Amino acid sequence: MALHHGDADDRRLTVAPFLGEADPLGAMELSPPLHRLADGPIPPDTAYQLIHDELMLDGNAKLNLATFVTTSMEVQAEKLMAECLDKNMIDKDEYPQTAELERRCVAILADLWHAPDPDTAVGCSTTGSSEACMLAGLALKRRWMGRNADRYAAGARPNLVMGVNVQICWEKFCNFWEVEARTVPMQGDVYHLDAERAVALCDENTIGVVGILGSTFDGSYEPVAEICAALDALQARTGLDVPVHVDGASGAMVAPFLDPDLVWDFQLPRVSSINTSGHKYGLVYPGVGWALWRDKEALPEELIFRVNYLGGEMPTFALNFSRPGAEVVAQYYTFLRLGRDGFRAVQQASREVAEYLAAEIEKLGCFRLLTRGDELPVFAFTTADGMPFDVFDVSRRLRERGWQVPAYTFPADRTDLSVLRIVCRNGFSRDLADLLLADLTRLLPELQRQPVPLQKLGVPARTGFHH
């Protein structure tokens, strides 16, 4: 969450007299607190209405094409979630059935990701992929420390190799756990990690390589199998044995259904762990994620803590202690409800919308596609050469109609390139895609009448996108 600072609160604000329930004048005394807790209580309906009205200023989740996170679930799932709001995931002893549903989800994912022996694969739920990545990174670091105890004690600094396109959680991991981030820059039209440049950065202090399925920047899959093969060759040449973690925040819930022939998961012996966000293409509201290790050796025992469970002990691995059980229950609901065929149908629909929309945008003639939505149902595009507007102008104008389409600049070495990105999720129908297309088509003549991109006239390029 954002870090907030305190501030003096001497504001007096009156609210609508009708909110005062029985006494309209009562509301005139109300002042929703901005900085300091009010002295007394207010009626629950009044509190509800005030906050409800304020939240209308938030964007409409369904028009938010920036987020990967689920914005619609069935009412039955919502009902289950409401029934489980008061359950703390960590109280395994008190809520053994929620714990059992978590166990089933881990087993289902282990099977989906071809763990060599789903019975010995280990895994846990998390608040999202960020926590899952922290846990997976920690396991990699501990394993490296175990293999290099003397050198670590003598000052060797562990490093992690990844593309510069990684999500910010990997920068956090490296920062928080004092690991050197070795990032491969973008190069020409290659916007993600490739095997050759990944291996070139590996040395005896490399705790692992992160491969992303798929990249947050443009939805493309990184070549995990090629990276593993190149690391196999490195091992044959030098003896260095570098494990791979697959950050499948989105793709680990897409590829198993839509790309069954793509080999990216535990079928590759070098892949030691995988994460996904249950709340992205796992189709659950925020926040649930999953981290899985191929076997017990991949997750050092000393990182595991024990909690009470039916009079015994249950192993847990987590950063947080307390966490809501509702999302885990909802994840099990999606597995139960959809099955493989249902998941395939949902993800296929999103991919078809993405591919359709990308192709239609290309036809407008004012844009150049970087990706086509045929891996993750996500694509990135930029303005064609010679346009008098830039991606920030397009993003700003679409916002006037409620669409949130983020515009942002690529990282090193392609900071010259700015793009728009569209994430197609469950609930973003072909119908909505056509409405977006109609809006974009309608505003293009106006954009084309601009003399230059507004940035050049001093209008700041607002990016609503943070990795």
Ligand X SMILES: Cc1ncc(COP(=O)(O)O)c(C=O)c1O
Q: Do the Cβ atoms of 26 and 20 come closer than 8 Å? A: yes
Longest dimension (CA), the chain: 82
User: Residue 409: how many CB atoms within 10 A of its CB?
Assistant: 15
Q: Select from 101-109, 242-250, 397-405, 407-415 the region that touches ligand X (CB under 6 A).
A: 242-250
Please give the helix or strand (H or E) that residue 423 lies within, else none: strand 418-423
**Binding letters toward ligand X, positions 377-396, x by CB under 6 A:** --------------------
SS3 152: helix
Give the shortest CB-406-to-ligand X separation in angstroms: 12
User: Residue 413: how many CB atoms within 10 A of its CB?
Assistant: 13
Give the shortest CB-102-to-ligand X separation in angstroms: 17
SS3 103: helix
Q: Do the Cβ atoms of 383 and 389 come closer than 8 Å? A: yes
**Binding letters toward ligand X, positions 131-160, x by CB under 6 A:** --x---------------------------
Q: Please tell me whether residue 249 binds ligand X under the rule CB under 6 A.
A: yes
The single residue among 128, 158, 163, 411 that binds ligand X, judged by CB under 6 A, is 128
Give the shortest CB-163-to-ligand X separation in angstroms: 10
Q: Select from 88-96, 107-115, 197-205, 244-252 the region that touches ligand X (CB under 6 A).
A: 244-252
Residues 39-78 that bind ligand X (CB under 6 A): 68
Q: Please tell me whether residue 167 binds ligand X under the rule CB under 6 A.
A: yes
Q: Select from 7-15, 105-113, 127-135, 141-149 the region that touches ligand X (CB under 6 A).
A: 127-135
Q: Please tell me whether residue 129 binds ligand X under the rule CB under 6 A.
A: yes
Give the shortest CB-207-to-ligand X separation in angstroms: 18
Amino acid at 322: S
CA atoms within 13 A on the CB side of 125: 33
Give the shortest CB-316-to-ligand X separation in angstroms: 19
Q: Select from 123-131, 186-194, 196-204, 408-416 the region that touches ligand X (CB under 6 A).
A: 123-131
Residue count, binding to ligand X (CB under 6 A): 14
Q: Please tell me whether residue 424 binds ligand X under the rule CB under 6 A.
A: no
Q: Do the Cβ atoms of 377 and 350 come closer than 8 Å? A: yes
Please give the helix or strand (H or E) that residue 371 lies within, else none: none
The single residue among 247, 265, 375, 393 that binds ligand X, judged by CB under 6 A, is 247
Strand partners, 305: 316
What gap in Å lies between CA 447 and CA 461, rounded to an integer? 15
Q: Do the Cβ atoms of 116 and 281 come closer than 8 Å? A: no
Q: Please tell me whether residue 169 binds ligand X under the rule CB under 6 A.
A: yes
Q: Select from 9-17, 124-132, 406-414, 451-459 the region that touches ligand X (CB under 6 A).
A: 124-132
The single residue among 46, 70, 98, 130 that binds ligand X, judged by CB under 6 A, is 130
What gap in Å lies between CA 104 and CA 99, rounded to an integer? 9
Relative to beta strand 271-277, strand 289-293 is antiparallel
Q: Please tell me whether residue 165 binds ligand X under the rule CB under 6 A.
A: no
Nearer to ligand X, 19 or 138 (CB): 138
Q: Select from 184-192, 243-251, 344-352, 415-423 the region that touches ligand X (CB under 6 A).
A: 243-251
What's the count of helices (H) and strands (E) in the chain, helices before strands? 13, 13
Please give the helix or strand (H or E) that residue 243 lies within, else none: none
The single residue among 64, 159, 216, 273 that binds ligand X, judged by CB under 6 A, is 216
What gap in Å lies between CA 327 and CA 278, rounded to an integer? 8
Give the shortest CB-383-to-ligand X separation in angstroms: 24
Nearer to ligand X, 229 or 319 (CB): 319
DSSP 268-333: STTEEEEEEETTTTT---SS-EEEEESSGGGS-GGG-EEEEETTEEEEE--S-S--BSHHHHHHHH
Residues 253-292 that bind ligand X (CB under 6 A): 277, 289
Length of the chain: 467
Query: What residues line the site for ligand X (CB under 6 A)?
Result: 68, 128-130, 133, 167, 169, 212, 216, 247, 249-250, 277, 289
